[in-house]
Amino acid sequence: STMLEVSGLTHQYGQGERAHVAVQDLTFSIEAGQLACIVGPSGCGKSTLLRCISGLIEATGGSVRLHGDEVSGVPDDLAVVFQDYSRSLFPWLTVAKNVEFPLRWQKVSKAERTRRAAEVLEAVGLAGVGKKFPWQLSGGMQQRVSIARALVGRPALLLMDEPFASVDAQTRGELEDLTRTVQRDLGSTILLVTHDIDESVYLADRVLVLSKSPASIVADLSIDLPAE
Ligand code: ADP
Ligand code: ADP
């Protein structure tokens, strides 16, 4: 079934002489369970597109539908992982408290929050670090914590904005493998934005290639790998 439907999406920053069209008339859809990458040059509008999908900014035109429903505001069955993990974790909370944080806004008991935080920390390979603080962890581990926090609410759609751009090459490989494991084992639908075409082809079932700004989709590739 279709998870995400983006139709005629347009976003313009500013008005009048300062107006800048960052995304113009983009249309595509993502199937449930897919790991799709959007790849395109720096400045082509990838972050703007993700911000519109996640409801962080309101698109100036077009529509976004999440399993059939029009998205307005920030939907709670969608989670985002940003490039800059060092600014996205709360430094005064332990890793476990960071991870369970999104559940505070849902009707989930304290015991259940603790259990689910431990469960996703284990899923991202961080069993046992719940009591540490983010600054006690390496950059790669902090980004794992961000991924765990995004997954704890069991989102229908996980958006990732250049999630591996700030980590070293070895950590990037580990996080790429983690992302594929999450998709396979949890059945997550993932839309990941990157400027790195190598990364997109390595990771994704599907690669949408954008041209320079304002972007249009210049290729839509299915990556079919033989079963392992
Ligand atoms: P990408 O993520 O592909 O690098 P962005 O979505 O960040 O691209 O930016 C697309 C275009 O919109 C760029 O030309 C950028 O300078 C511009 N832009 C991004 N954010 C803003 C903003 N808040 N105000 C004005 N222009 C912006
Ligand atoms: P990325 O390529 O990682 O998306 P950018 O360098 O395009 O990052 O943008 C970094 C930050 O600066 C973003 O928050 C974006 O909204 C803002 N930004 C980018 N271009 C402009 C612009 N022309 N005017 C105002 N803000 C901008």
Q: Is 183 in the pocket of ligand 2 (CB under 6 A)?
A: no
Q: Is 42 in the pocket of ligand 1 (CB under 6 A)?
A: yes
ipTM surpassing 0.90: no
> Cα(142) to centroid of ligand 1, in Å?
26
- Can you give the pLDDT at residue 21? 93
Rounded distance, CA 186 to CA 40, Å? Answer: 28
- The reported pTM is 0.88
- Can you give the pLDDT at residue 66? 92
- Can you give the pLDDT at residue 13? 96
Q: Is 19 in the pocket of ligand 2 (CB under 6 A)?
A: no
Residue ranges of the chain with per-residue pLDDT less than 50: none
> Cα(136) to centroid of ligand 2, in Å?
29
- Can you give the pLDDT at residue 37? 97
- Can you give the pLDDT at residue 186? 86
What are the tens digits of pLDDT across the range 177-217? Answer: 999 999 998 889 999 999 999 999 999 999 999 998 878 89
CB of 219 within 8 A of CB of 49? no
CB of 198 within 8 A of CB of 170? no
In a 3-state reduction of DSSP, which class is residue 114? helix
CB of 99 within 8 A of CB of 117? yes
- Can you give the pLDDT at residue 228? 61
CB of 59 within 8 A of CB of 52? yes
> Cα(26) to centroid of ligand 2, in Å?
20
Cis previous bond, 214, omega within 30: yes
Give the amino acid at 36: A
- Can you give the pLDDT at residue 106? 83
